[in-house]
Structure formats: C-alpha cells, structure tokens
Structure 1
Amino acid sequence: MNQFFMNEKSDLVNEAIEGALIGTPFHNLSKLEVDTDIRVVVRNDWDKSKVALISGGGSGHEPAHAGFVGKGMLTAAVCGDIFASPSVDAVLTAIINVTGDAGCLLIVKNYTGDRLNFGLAAEKAIQLGYQVEMVMVKDDISLPDNPQPRGIAGTVLVHKIAGYAAEQGLPLHQVTALANQAIADTNSIGLAFATCHIPGEARDERLDAGHSELGMGIHGEPGVSILKTQNSREIVAIVAEKLQENLPEDKKVVLLCNNLGGFSALEMAVLTREVLASPLGDQVSHLVGPATMVSALDMKGFSLSTLLLDADRENALQAPVEAFGWQPLVKLQPLQPQPAEKAAQQRHFSPSANAPTGRIVATVCETLIALESELNKLDARVGDGDTGSTFAAGARKILKLLQQNSLPLNQPEQLLTLVGEQLAVVMGGSSGVLMSIMFTSAGQKLEQGEPLSQALQYGLQRMKHYGGAQPGDRTMIDALEPALNALAAGNDLAAAAAAASAGADATAQMTVTRAGRSSYLNQQSLHGVKDPGAYAVAQVFAGLSQG
C-alpha cells in the first residue's frame, strides 16, 4: 500500500519544486526552462559578477537543496530524482547558466553518483572555458573505517561559509579554500528509529521495536551498530561522545541539530536540551536549529553536526541570507527563569454555623452518595459507568467538611466558592470542572449582591458557555435549567423538583446528543434511557423538596 502524498510518482519531484518556489518568502527563485528531466533551481536576482555556488543531489532531502539557494548561500541547486544523483547534463546546464568570469564552485556530498556526475560536468565546463572548482563534503563520522565518509547535514554549514565568502566578492580560489577548511572542521553523526518510506514502496522495517540504528545513512543505508534503546538520554550520551572525540578540547563549536524528517518538534526540542546538557554542550557556543535542514524523506531520526568556530566563521554564519531553508545562528545564553507568583489553589474561609443551610448541604450530599450504584448502572448503558462514583466522590468530600464544621455555612457566597474549589479537586473528568465552574461563578455573583436564584442561574450560564451543552443536548442541564428557572420565577422547591423531574424524563426520549460520552452512541442505545446527570439533579431536587 502506498502511504505517500502524491499524484503520479513520475511528477513528484517537479511538482514539489514548483510548490517550494511558490512558497519562498523572498520570491527570488526560478527553475531553468530546459526540459522536464533537468531540474535546476536558480537565483533570479543573480548577475554573474561573483563566484557562483552550485550544489545538489538526489531529491528527498528537503529543504536541501533548493532551500539553500538565495543571496548569501547557493546560486543554484541541481535536483535529481528521489535519492538519485542529477545527470551530468543537468549539472552542466546549471554551470553554464550561472557562471560568469568569477567562476563557479561545486559543493558536492561524497556519494559515488554525485562525485562522478558533478565531476564530469566540471571537466566538460572547464573544457568549454569556465573556471570550475569542486569540493566534497565528508562530514559523517559514524563509520570510522570508511575510506569515503559520506556527506550529510554538515553540508549546509559549508554552504553558508562558502556563500558568505562568495557574497563578499572573494575570488574562486579563496572561496574554495574556505569551503575546504570548513569541510575539514565539520563532523556529523546520525541516528534513526526507523528508515524512510520511499514513494511507491513499502517501508523497510529492519529495526525491532525499541531499537535504534547509529549512523543510518540519509538514503536508509545501514549504520554502524544497533542500539537496544530509544531513550533520549542514553542515545545522546553515545552520539555526543563520538562527536566530542573528534573535537579539540579547547575549541568552541556551532551545533546543528537536524531533523531527518520524522521527528516531531517536541522530540527535536528534547534532543537539543539533552545535547546541550551533555559534556559536548560545554563546547557549544552557538546553535543552528533544531530544524529540518537535510532530511531523508520521513526517516524517524536526527543528525548532529559540529563546526569549529572562530570569529570569521561566526560572522559568516550570522550574516543574513535570502534562502528559505536556512535557520538563523543562535548564540547560547543561560536560561533566565522569570520569577512568578503561584496562583492560590484554595481561598481560606472561616467556618460558620447556619442550621438550615447545613441541612440543605447534607441532603444534597447524602442523596448523591445514596445514588452512587444506581447512577453507575444507568451510566453504564450510555457512558463509561462512573457518573455515580464521580458525583459521590464530590458529595463525600463536602459532607466530610460539613461534619467537621469546616464550612462557612453563614456566608453563602463563600460556601459556593469553597464547594466549587473542592469539586474541581475531587471529582474526576469534565463533570467536576463543570460543577466547579457553576458554583464558583454563582459565588462571585452572590458577592456582588445578586439573589441566590439569579446567582445560580448565572453559574449555569457559565457552565453552558464553557461546556458547550444546551437544553436538549441530553445532559444534566436538561434538568438543572428548568429547576433553576422555577426558583428564579419565585416558585418553591416542590415546583423546582417537578421541573427537574420533567426535564430528566425528557432526556429518555432524546435520541440525538451533542455533548458528553453519549454523543458517540447511536439512537437505539439512547432510547428510553435517562441521562444520568439529569436524573441525579432531579433526585437532588426531589430530596430537597421533601426536607
């Protein structure tokens, strides 16, 4: 099964390039019009007065290579098919279209196809009278015995160093020398949890669950070893140590944290934190990323690159560019936590006595505790079977405070606020928060001098506002709103109880619900079953009316 977002595989690269050119914020890129098999992205503001920089390779490494074309970086990028080197003709086309008297530098990742095709194109261009030099990036240190180290994400740092030199108008031999010096001082290593998914092909699942591969190549090539861990700290300790082994102890470096395509932003942030907390972090003075710079399609992994830093390279890396794939250089600074005041979790109230209010509180709590089993059974038919336990948990907490004489019974505004705070703590799920909103808001209105009935109605409105449910949505509101409306109209508790009962009964006939877990059920499951929350409200008002 294909799991790649595309129309026709044969058109994938061309369509992706077009999309990238449309999206660049600098509007400075164009594709040379030659034929569909030659894909060269160029600066459309280039005047050939300076050394041209050309890089490229197989597609699938986006934003490389087109993402680094622009003022201050590359002049052109030659894009091959997915993981395939561009042709000699494509590279030669790029050279002859962007190279002036100042000459051209080819920056090539050290893969056989790229070396050969870019190399032959260079020779042909030289034969045509162009000044052309070529450097090969060999930054991958994961395979220490490899006579031809691969070029990976560190290539981007070379692009930036050489791009700055060319932008300053330096001659070709100096730009080439600076690029070669940067290559010698750049080291990279990668790690992946899974290889990439190539368009039209099944993913190679060669790694067992919980394992990772050190040094997996950016085309999915096997790495140097399999690690029996995916723990961030353990992995970074291994990778960072290998990088640090290749660094002089007294040198500062810039660190490039590169996403190989499949890591989330969350994971990349963890990676950055772990590396900077490791011994390697002591040598890092500047950071590029975390970001996707040289990807391997959707490979679930990352790479780290270091470049020895001096004042000239710092200036080169800090210089602004007009290339959409580049990330600004960040100078590391100690984190500065902002002092803050913790919000008070609970307000402190002085207990007070009021016998009638105490009886009301006791009736409500005892009713809900007695209903626990019945409500759970009812909820099991339309929900997750815990409504009774949730309501009872809140009721037991309030009843315990009542029995301990810890409630401000003679200050109703404080009582409602305290009840709201306690319900949010002890009642699980959304129902506790909703009830807390209602009581807390009602308490605020009482403090402002509103009558109790209007304050409770206001609390209900805030519950509806945040919860999203309305009458008819088959929730506790179908019983609570008519009961509170009856009280606000001057009716007694018996009338309120009758209104709540009618509202709860009506929910048994509601076959469409828009809130709560019952919204996931079909009409047949709901028919004839009262909403547990509405039934609980009706029973509470019934108990109050009999008290």
Structure 2
Amino acid sequence: MHHFYNRPDNLVSELLEGLAMSAAVTLSDHRDARIVMRSDWHPDRDGRQQVALISGGGSGHEPAHAGFVGPGMLTAAVAGDIFASPGVEAILAGIRACCGEAGCLLIIKNYTGDRLNFGLAAERAREEGFQVDTVIVADDVALPEAPQPRGLAGTLLVHKMAGYCAERGDDLQAISKAAGDMAASVRSMGMALSSATLPGQEASSRRTPELGLGIHNEPGVRQTTPENADDAVAQVLEALGRPDDGPWVVVLNNLGGCSPQEMQVLKRACLEQLGRDNVALMLGPAPLMTSLDMHGFSITLAPADDATLDALSAPVQAPAWPTPEKVHDIETFSPRFSQRPPAGEGQKNETRAQLIKRLATTLRNSEKALDELDAKVGDGDAGATFAAGANAVLKALDEDQLSTGEDTRLASELGHLFATAMGGSSGVLLSILMTSAAQQLEKESDWPKALQAGVERMQHYGGASQGDRTMLDALIPAIETLADGEDLSAAARSARSGADETASMRKAGAGRSSLVPEQALDGVVDPGAEAVARLFEAMAGDDTPR
C-alpha cells in the first residue's frame, strides 16, 4: 500500500463525496456524469440574472476543479476519470443543470480531450437553445513552439476573474471577454523531481528533474539538475522570461508532493528573485492545480492591473481558493534573552567550595562507568553528560565564579551552569532542580526543603515519578531522608538503595530507557540514579571507586 485509497475505480467518486460532506455543493447522482454544483444555485431563479460558470476536466488535479465551486467562482465542475476528460454527455448534463436565461461560460484547459468534449457539448447545448460561450486557457510556456500550449494553474485566475464578473451581474459577452483577456495574459511554468503515481499502480521511481513537464505525466521540455530550491526557482523564472517589469500577481502551486516546508522555501526564493516590489499579490503556496503526488511546483504570473487585483481580492466562498496576500518586507524585532546575574559576586565559603569540588570530581571520574551503564539501556552518553556539568562546575570554582557562601545565589548559579554546559534532558532537569531550589531558598534557608521543591518541578515538567527507573529513584529517597532529619550517611544509603533497586525494574516510565526492551534492562542500574547515588556517597565521605 503506497497511498490511502480504496478501490482505484472508486477514487473520483469518493473524493467528490468527501468534498460534498463539508462544502456547500450538491453532487449528481449518476456515475456517468460526475457534476459538482453550488447547492444554493437554481437555474430558473439565479440563472435568469447571473451567468453560470462551468469548468472541469480530468480528475487527479484536486482541488481543481470542484474545490473552486462556490459563490464568486464556479457554478459547477464536471469531473472525468483520472487524467481523462469527462464525456460530452456529462458536460452537457452540467450545462442543463445550471444554465439559465443569462447563459453560461465554459472555461476549458487546452488539452485535446477537454477542448473537443467541452466544445461539442457547447455546440449541442446551443442546438438545444442554451446561450453558451467558451474560453480556452493555454498558459503553459514550456513549449514555446507548440501550436497548442497546455492549460495549467493559470486556469484558476480565469475562474476567479469570470466569477467576479458574474457575481456583479455582467452579461455573458462581457464575462467571456474578461475571462479571455485574463487567459491571454497569464503564463505558467513548472518543475518536478518525480512523475505522478496513478492509483492502483506501483509508486513511480524518482527520475531526473524536468522543467516544464505536464500535469498528466507528459515529459518536460528538458531535463535539469537544480542544485537547490533557489536554483530551481531561478530556472523556472528564467523559462517564464525573467520578468522584471511588474507588478505581478504570482501563483505558487504545489503539484501535490511537496511538503509545506519545501513550499515556504520556494516562496521565499520566488519573492526574493522577482523582487518584492514587483509582486502586488501572492496566491499560495498551496495545492491548487495538482498532479496526484507529483513532487514539483509551478509558478504562474499575471499582470497586476487594477481590474485584476479587484477581481482576485473580491470575497469568494469556494473552499479551495487561497486568501490572496500582499507582499511586504520582512519585519523583525530583537528578542530579550535572559540576563544572567554576575556570577560569583556573593559571599564565599571555602569548606563548601571544597565539598562542591569533591562532588564534581566524583562525577567527572565516573564518566566511563556511567557511559558503560547507559550503553546498555540508552545511547551511551550519560557519563559524558554528567562529566560536562562537573567540568563546568570545576572551572567555575577555579575562576571563583560560584557564590559558595550564599545559598540562593549558589543554587541559581548552578542552575545556569547545568543549563548551558550539559546536553540532553539531564542538564535541563538538573537546571530545573537548582533553579526551583533557589526560589525556595530565597524564602527559607533549608536545603532539603528546597531540593524537595526542585524535585516537584522536575516531576511536573519531566513527567517521571519514583519507580520510573530514572535519577529520581535515588534522588527522592535521599532528599526525604535529609528532610526527616537524618544525616548524610543515611541519605547516601537511601540513594544507593534506590539506585540499586532500578536494576530490578524491567520497565522504564521515562527517558530513553522507556524505548528499550524489558529484558535489556534486567540487572542494569539506571545511569542517572547511579550518578545521584555516587554524589550522595561523596557528600557522606565515601568516595571509594566503584
């Protein structure tokens, strides 16, 4: 399975039904005439004063054309099979369904099947007494010598111009002229990295990028090898004649397979290369005239005269029409970063400085052992992470950058150090621990109570609890022991007991160990808990290497 389809032969019917479940449209009830029409439209009422607009063609180009049915755009769309024009009878049925006394305009993409089927339907409708006119869109400039340029995404600008004129009550002749003038002024060019995959077939293999390929998998005008997005856009604009005499309306169309990230990068390149002052209105980036899952884009240009801007900016209720946007220079602002208070300006306490040095040295010397534990249950860098924090602390001590004699300042300074020096989640969690502890110490100089407050915030943000096989399994019992009034030796024993218990925990509730099979955890002490146990043992005076 390469796509989320059901039966390939049901694809067109199902995609139209999906649209009709939320859009204000009505569907014909016969498979041989897949017609999508405005649900508020009645030819004997609305069609007496307003010209009906009908377009369509082969499916596989969604949201074109059914997504552009609605007040301000198309009255109806007639859908054929994938990449195949609807038949004459289906188009004629669409004309009969929505054409009133004011007549209707057929907007046709310049493909042989569409031109012939829509053309014959128009002739037969006239024979039946309907007032019908046609406009053919041939905006593709890929094949300049071709007698029959193809209709591409520029067709949608013709839909919008005709819809604007119809909505304000223009007659058929005036609408046909406005739509024809728009069709004559637009030009489009596309580039793709791959062809489209037809439903029910194997995914297409990637092929050499092509410039100017058609939306039915027709070969491009030439193969190309763009170096990057900027180069791809440059080649497309070059093929469009490298316009510099704007202002222009620009349509950036996703041919179906480009990610949103790619399309924004392409938009940036397009506006930079055209010059933002040369672009009066931007439509997209959006999937507008697609080719199934083709990994490519197209750019359409149209002169931005007042009439065009008025038409394209007018309100519309078609579900797929993008909101036109005016282009402007990028606005920037300067963010405020944290202003770290001067470090080490508080009081000093040599005894505490030596204790901190002892703890940091213990962690630094434990790097290899902790990495070996982490290699069994994680990504093997726990020791390096803790050692990085330890080395930062030792450096700060050497440079007299820790306020060892003031509890609040010291906790805050350690929090900043851990956040900047340690990588991964451990550094962030320890920074949260010390930063929250500093806030508590500002209220009351009680380290066990402050550390309990810090652990609470660690759990709030980290999501782990005691028993989840993390450093908390050693940290929580050790702090609770201190909070109960017992000494450091008792706290160290609690930390060691908690760390050792993690070896029998066969399921981790947080961290990378939670992604490891249960059997791989059995008998292995959690490296974070081991680091905490070693710290408390060093505080208690037992720093015997393990």
TM-score over 0.5 for the pair: yes
Instruction: Identify which of 509, 513, 523 aligns with 1:518.
Output: 513
- 2:496 corresponds to which residue? 501
Q: Give the Å deviation of 1:460.
A: 1.0
Match for 2:28 among 32, 35, 53? 32
Structure 2 distance, partners of 1:499, 1:429, is: 26
Partner of 1:480: 475
Q: 2:224 aligns with which of 227, 230, 248?
A: 227
Task: Give the Cα separation in 2 of the matches to 1:370 and 1:83.
Answer: 68
Where do 5+ consecutive residues of structure 2 fail to align? none
Whole-Å Cα distance in 2 between the matches of residues 349 and 139 of structure 1? 70
Report what 1:22 is aligned to. 21
Kindly indicate whether residue 419 of structure 2 is the aligned counterpart of residue 424 of structure 1: yes
Q: Give unpaired runs (5+ residues) of structure 1.
A: none
Distance 1:227 1:346 in 2: 56
Given that residues 418 and 430 in structure 2 are in contact (C-alpha distance below 8 angstroms), is that contact kept between their aligned partners in structure 1? yes
Which structure 2 residues correspond to residues 267-306 of structure 1 after superposition, within 5 A? 267-279=262-274, 281-306=276-301
Greater mean deviation of Cα atoms: 256-265 or 88-97: 256-265
Residue 75 (structure 2) pairs with residue 79 (structure 1): no
Between Structure 1 and Structure 2, how many residues are aligned? 537
How far off its partner does 1:111 sit? 0.7
Deviation of 1:303 (Å): 0.8
Partner of 1:546, secondary structure, is coil
Structure 2 equivalent of residue 215 of structure 1: 212
Tell me, in whole angstroms, the C-alpha distance in 2 between the residues paired with 1:115 and 1:230.
Answer: 38
Counterpart residue type for residue 320 of structure 1: P
Percent of paired sites with the same residue: 48
Q: Is the 8 A contact 2:193 2:206 kept in 1?
A: no
The answer to whether structure 1 residue 241 and structure 2 residue 238 are counterparts is yes
Please provide the CA RMSD for this pair: 1.5
Larger deviation, residues 500-509 vs 411-420? 411-420
Q: In structure 2, what is the equivalent of residue 396 of structure 1? A: 391
Distance 1:378 1:54 in 2: 69
Structure-1 residue corresponding to 2:129 = 129
Q: Within the alignment, does 1:168 sit opposite 2:163 as a pair? A: no
Q: What is the one-letter code of the residue matched to 1:236?
A: V
State how far apart, in whole Å, the 1-side matches of 2:363 and 2:98 are.
Answer: 81
CA contact (8 A) 2:346 2:409 kept: no
- 1: distance between equivalents of 2:417 and 2:258? 41
Structure 1: distance between partners of 2:34 and 2:227: 38
Q: CA separation of 1:279/1:289 partners in 2, compared to 1, >3 Å: closer, same or farther?
A: closer
Q: Measure the CA separation in 1 of the matches of 2:318 and 2:227.
A: 34
One of 524, 535, 538 as aligned partner of 1:540: 535
- The within-5 A match list for 1:20-169 is 20-24=19-23, 28-33=24-29, 35-46=30-41, 47-49=46-48, 50-169=50-169
Alpha-carbon distance between aligned partners in 1 of 2:272 and 2:340, rounded to the nearest angstrom: 34
Counterpart-to-counterpart distance in 2, 1:162 and 1:279: 27
Structure 2 letter corresponding to 1:543 = A
- 2-structure distance, mates of 1:230, 1:97: 50
Displacement of 1:206 in angstroms is 5.0
Other structure's SS at 1:228 match:
coil
Shift of 1:146: 1.6
In structure 1, what is the Cα distance between the partners aligned to 2:236 and 2:187? 12
Kindly indicate whether the alpha-carbon contact (under 8 Å) linking 2:276 and 2:329 is maintained by their aligned counterparts in 1.
no
Deviation at 1:403, TM superposition (A): 2.0
Distance verdict in 2 for CA 1:378–1:142, change over 3 Å: same
What TM-score does the superposition give when structure 2 sets the normalisation length? 0.95
Whole-angstrom CA distance in 1 between matches of 2:518 and 2:189: 57
Cα-to-partner distance string for 1:416-463 (whole Å, 9 max, x where unaligned): 111111111121111111111111111111123252111111111111
Change (3 A) 1:442 1:505: same
TM value normalised by structure 1: 0.95
Relative to structure 1, is the Cα distance of residues 345 and 183 closer, same or farther in structure 2, using a 3 angstrom cutoff?
farther
2:446 maps to 1:447: no
Counterpart contact for 1:187–1:305, Cα < 8 Å: yes
Pick which of 432-441 and 276-285 moved more.
276-285
The residue number in structure 2 matching 1:327 is 322
From the superposition, tell whether residues 5 and 345 of structure 1 become closer, same or farther in structure 2 (CA, over 3 Å): farther
Task: Provide Cα deviations, 1:17-68, integer angstroms capped at 9, x if missing partner.
Answer: 01111122xxx210123x2221000112122121111000111111111111
